[in-house]
């Protein structure tokens, strides 16, 4: 009867289901180096100021996109939603967030890094991977300075580690920090050969303060010896940063 026909009209057709499946598949592919590349599945992503980054910390899509741009004989048309712009913007936001946290915690980071470097278009794939490794190393250092246990951290998952840092319920510790040599070597080794030592003569170190022989040495144990209470200013900064992103 009419009611049965109406129900049939409300049910999704086989062709409609197929189109939906094809659309979902299309969202998992990207055109790079003259071919369609299937994006690796991830356990999720983080939405960082409107930009989505994989929780896995795998940013190889950017390397493919960068190589394609450098192989072009003419400038590519602007595509603000492509994988390259998305990942570089997300990493710039992550580096900026880390800089804000390190500033308020007064913790010097082991590797100099300017977040605008992720927006460069003339870098090599090795340069990009080195930038990501330095960012991850700085994140690990700041997490360790606040007492996060090493088993909780995954060296290559940039935003996951930042999320753990912001959500950490322990006492906030201010001031310089240096972890044990064995632990540091283990974490650095897990970042692989991508992590290159910073060049002391490079321009990106110009904004770092010079450390003289008379400067006080950082404590060389896992946790700083004198945790300091959290100030209202620091609480406000942490609350602001915690709203930068949310897991998806």
Q: Which residues pair with 38 in a beta bridge?
A: 29
Encode the chain (248 residues) as per-residue pLDDT tens digits.
554 544 444 454 555 566 665 655 555 555 555 555 555 554 578 888 778 888 888 888 888 877 777 776 555 555 556 777 888 889 999 999 999 999 999 999 999 998 889 987 777 888 899 999 999 999 999 999 998 888 888 889 999 999 899 888 777 888 888 777 777 777 777 777 677 765 544 444 444 343 344 434 333 333 333 444 444 445 555 566 555 555 55
DSSP string computed for 46-72: EEETTEEEETT---HHHHHHHHHHHH-
10 burial level (CB within 10 Å; 0-12, 13-18, 19+)? exposed
131 burial level (CB within 10 Å; 0-12, 13-18, 19+)? buried
User: Is residue 220 within 8 Å of 180, Cβ to Cβ?
Assistant: yes
């Amino acid at each position: 009867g009419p009611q049965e026909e109406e129900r049939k009209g409300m049910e999704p057709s086989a062709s409609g289901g197929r189109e939906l499946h094809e659309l979902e598949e299309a969202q998992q592919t990207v055109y790079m180096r003259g071919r369609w590349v299937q994006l690796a599945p991830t356990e999720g992503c983080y939405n960082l100021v409107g930009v989505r980054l994989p929780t896995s910390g795998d940013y190889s899509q950017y390397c493919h996109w960068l190589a394609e741009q450098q192989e072009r004989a003419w400038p590519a048309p602007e595509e603000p939603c492509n994988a390259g712009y998305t990942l570089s913007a997300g990493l710039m936001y992550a580096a900026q967030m880390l800089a804000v946290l390190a500033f308020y915690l007064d913790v010097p980071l082991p590797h100099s890094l300017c977040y605008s470097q992720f927006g460069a278009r003339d870098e090599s794939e090795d340069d990009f991977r080195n930038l990501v490794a330095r960012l991850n190393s700085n994140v690990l250092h700041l997490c360790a300075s606040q007492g996060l246990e090493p088993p909780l951290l995954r060296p290559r998952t940039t935003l996951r580690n930042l999320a753990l840092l912001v959500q950490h319920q322990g006492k906030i510790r201010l001031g310089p920090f240096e972890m044990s040599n064995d632990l540091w070597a283990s974490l650095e080794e897990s970042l692989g050969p991508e992590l290159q030592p910073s060049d002391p003569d490079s321009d990106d170190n110009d904004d770092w303060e010079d450390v003289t022989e008379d400067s006080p040495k950082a404590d060389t144990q896992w946790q700083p010896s004198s945790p300091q209470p959290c100030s209202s200013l620091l609480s406000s900064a942490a609350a602001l940063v915690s709203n930068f992103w949310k897991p998806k």
